[in-house]
């Protein structure tokens, strides 16, 4: 069989997992179980993991080898571009655009291919024998990756090259045809793989068909048409009402628009309907789905709504935070099977993990500072953001109010951002309370955050009633618009 070669290719033996590559995870946040808990009986919680995905793949391997039913990835495509996300500030519609990731490969194509090859080998190790992988790419790179997938998964396990066609934005070129589709490569792990003929994956009829449809006496749809020996006929052709079983060209799913509920302000965000088709076709309820380049969390949100278990990872802490909020806000999002309705349910329990310990000495990114500022790190242990609160206690009831959040380096922040800040609370994106912080596990028992559409932040918590007397460690965690986390704990005597 022909294999693709590139400079620096180390064939897959080296990818065999060595124990030295396994590192422990740190639990940054716990989101306790919700009001319906059928998954909790197995003590399962979904996972959102911040970090470099090669290291994460190594470290989850002992637990998840051959456990995952579906992997969808939408990695950087080697486009050479920068991709943005929006940081919204305060309540008054102000925002700045920041680069989420740079899709530039200094050592060129070879380094990109080595990057993805390494990870794809490990992903296959995670898949169940009846599992599948969908790799979302475009014209830049999909032809190379198809050869790599043939090598890793076997040419016989290639199932589809899906063309997701969407109307292209107006492009000035008159030198070639306008590019207006992405490619999704679908491979199964074996010949015996899950593939569901579910009416919810069907494509809508074309307008031509819809206009021509009629109902017979029993209410079944048909149109007049068909052909025989090249001759057009006018006989009744019955159709299934849900639409047609999907072809490999998907032109019925529009690109994300900014005025939709699902929009997260992330420039490479993919539509939930795309993931709906993939997830319903290739998994069953409770199966584990993983996305190692999860971005704004599209795969995770759709998996959650379809009652699948999920694992999402991303290297960028802002997109991890975006995914966290998207899951917490899931009740307000579209019901994935009845699009015009809200989902209206709380998420299953999940945890945010990281391979490196999060601490307060992390740097604020240069991107947010005035041009030419040399001081890095801006934080030192003597120079941390200050959080001031008022803790109101009445017998066993406690209310927490945020009074101030003060950044030590405020004067260094770029004008572009400072001009948009009216009050201290505009710096705050999220805060949460653990009323009984123990064992270094932060349980987000009460929280308030700003989301794309709901910008208001509650500065005062709702009353919390302790059941028993005793000394408690009440802990507060705050995430600011720069992604910096501050956590303070207070002993209270109930």
Ligand X SMILES: C[S@@+](CC[C@H](N)C(=O)[O-])C[C@H]1O[C@@H](n2cnc3c(N)ncnc32)[C@H](O)[C@@H]1O
Residues at the site binding ligand X, with contacts judged by CB under 6 A: 52-53, 74-76, 100-101, 266, 268-270, 293, 295-296, 298, 313-316, 319
**Other CB atoms within 10 Å distance of the CB of residue 266:** 23
Q: How far apart are CA 333 and CA 275, in angstroms?
A: 15
CB of 137 or CB of 481, closer to ligand X: 137
How far apart are alpha carbons 136 and 186 in whole angstroms? 9
Query: Min. distance of Cβ 50 from ligand X in angstroms?
Result: 9
C-beta atoms surrounding 108 within 10 Å: 12
Alpha carbon distance 414, 407 (integer Å): 13
List C-alpha distances in Å: 3 to 36, 117, 142, 150: 49, 12, 15, 8
Tell me the two tokens of residue 188.
């199964």
Total residues found in the chain within this entry: 494
Q: Which is nearer to ligand X, 101 or 405 (CB)?
A: 101
Give min distance, CB of 434 to ligand X, in A. 28
Three-state helix/strand/coil letters over 332-366 = HCECCCCCCCECCCCCCCEEEEECCCCCCCCCCCH
User: CB 160 → ligand X: shortest distance, Å?
Assistant: 19
Alpha-carbon gap, residue 431 to 414, rounded angstroms: 24
Decide if 362 contacts 384 (C-beta within 8 A): no
321 vs 420 by CB, closer to ligand X: 321
Q: Which residue is nearest to ligand X (CB)?
A: 295
Nearest approach, Cβ of residue 296 and ligand X (Å)? 3
In angstroms, give the least distance from the CB of 73 to ligand X.
8
The separation between the first and the last C-alpha atoms of the chain, rounded to the nearest angstrom, is 71
As measured in angstroms, the least distance from the Cβ of 162 to ligand X is: 15
* Residue 491 Cα to chain centre, angstroms: 36
C-beta of 300 vs 407, nearer to ligand X: 300
Q: What does the alpha-carbon distance between residue 216 and residue 404 come to, in Å, rounded to a whole number?
A: 69
Nearer CB in complex with ligand X: 52/376: 52
Q: How far is the CB of 460 from ligand X (least distance, A)?
A: 33
Strands 309-314 and 288-291: parallel
By beta-carbon proximity to ligand X, the closer residue of 300 and 417 is 300
CA separation for the pair 222, 236 (Å, rounded): 6
Closer residue to ligand X (CB): 98 or 370? 98
Q: How far is the CB of 140 from ligand X (least distance, A)?
A: 12
Token pair of 356 as six digits:
């490196």
Instruction: Determine contact, residues 148/4, Cβ cutoff 8 Å.
Output: yes
Give whichever of 69 and 319 is closer to ligand X, judged by the CB atom.
319
Pairing of strands 221-228, 214-215: antiparallel
The Cβ of residue 169 has, within 10 Å, a number of other Cβ atoms equal to 8
Distance (Å, whole) CA 76 – CA 83: 10
What is the nearest approach in angstroms of ligand X to the Cβ of residue 176? 24
Residues 6+ apart with CB under 8 A from 357: 26
Smallest distance, ligand X to C-beta of residue 347, A: 17
């Amino acid at each position: 069989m022909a294999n693709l070669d590139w400079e620096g290719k180390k064939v897959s033996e080296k990818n065999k997992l060595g124990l030295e590559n396994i590192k422990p995870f740190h639990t940054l946040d716990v989101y306790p179980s919700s009001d319906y808990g059928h998954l909790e009986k197995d003590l399962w919680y979904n996972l959102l993991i911040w970090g470099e995905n090669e290291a994460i793949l190594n470290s989850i391997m002992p637990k998840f080898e051959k456990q995952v039913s579906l992997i969808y990835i939408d990695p950087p495509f080697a486009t050479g571009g920068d991709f943005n996300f929006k940081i919204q500030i305060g309540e008054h519609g102000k925002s700045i655009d920041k680069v989420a990731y740079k899709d530039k490969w200094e050592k060129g194509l070879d380094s990109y291919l080595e990057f993805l090859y390494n990870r794809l080998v490990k992903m296959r190790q995670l898949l169940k024998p009846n599992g599948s992988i969908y790799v979302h790419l475009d014209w830049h790179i999909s032809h190379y990756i198809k050869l790599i997938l043939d090598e890793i998964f076997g040419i016989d396990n290639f199932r589809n090259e899906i063309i997701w066609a969407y109307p292209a934005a107006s492009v000035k070129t008159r030198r070639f045809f306008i590019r207006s589709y992405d490619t999704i490569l679908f491979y199964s792990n074996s010949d015996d793989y899950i593939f569901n003929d579910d009416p919810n994956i069907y494509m809508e009829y074309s307008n031509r068909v819809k206009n021509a449809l009629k109902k017979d006496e029993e209410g079944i749809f048909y149109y007049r048409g068909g052909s025989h020996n090249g001759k057009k006929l006018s006989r009744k052709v019955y159709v299934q009402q849900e639409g047609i079983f999907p072809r490999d060209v998907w032109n019925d799913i529009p690109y994300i628009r900014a005025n939709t509920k699902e929009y997260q302000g992330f420039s490479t965000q993919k539509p939930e309907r795309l993931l709906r088709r993939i997830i319903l076709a290739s998994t069953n309820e409770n199966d584990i789905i993983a996305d190692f380049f999860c971005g704004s969390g599209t795969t995770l949100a759709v998996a959650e709504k379809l009652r699948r278990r999920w694992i999402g990872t991303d290297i960028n802490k802002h997109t991890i935070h975006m995914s966290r909020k998207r899951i917490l806000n899931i009740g307000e999002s579209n019901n994935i099977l009845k699009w015009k309705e809200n989902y209206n349910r709380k998420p299953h329990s999940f945890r945010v993990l990281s391979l490196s310990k999060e601490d307060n000495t992390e740097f604020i990114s240069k991107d947010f500072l005035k041009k030419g500022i040399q001081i890095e790190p801006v934080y030192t242990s003597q120079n941390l953001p200050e959080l001031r609160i008022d803790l109101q206690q009445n017998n066993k009831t406690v209310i927490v109010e945020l009074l101030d959040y003060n950044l030590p380096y405020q004067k260094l922040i770029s004008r572009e951002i400072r001009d948009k800040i009216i009050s201290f609370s505009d710096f705050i994106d999220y805060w949460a309370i653990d009323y009984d912080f123990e064992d270094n596990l932060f349980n987000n028992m009460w929280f308030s955050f700003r989301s794309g559409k709901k910008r208001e932040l509650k500065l005062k918590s709702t009353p919390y009633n302790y059941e028993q007397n005793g000394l408690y460690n009440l802990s507060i965690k705050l995430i600011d618009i720069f992604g910096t986390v501050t956590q303070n704990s207070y002993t209270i005597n109930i």
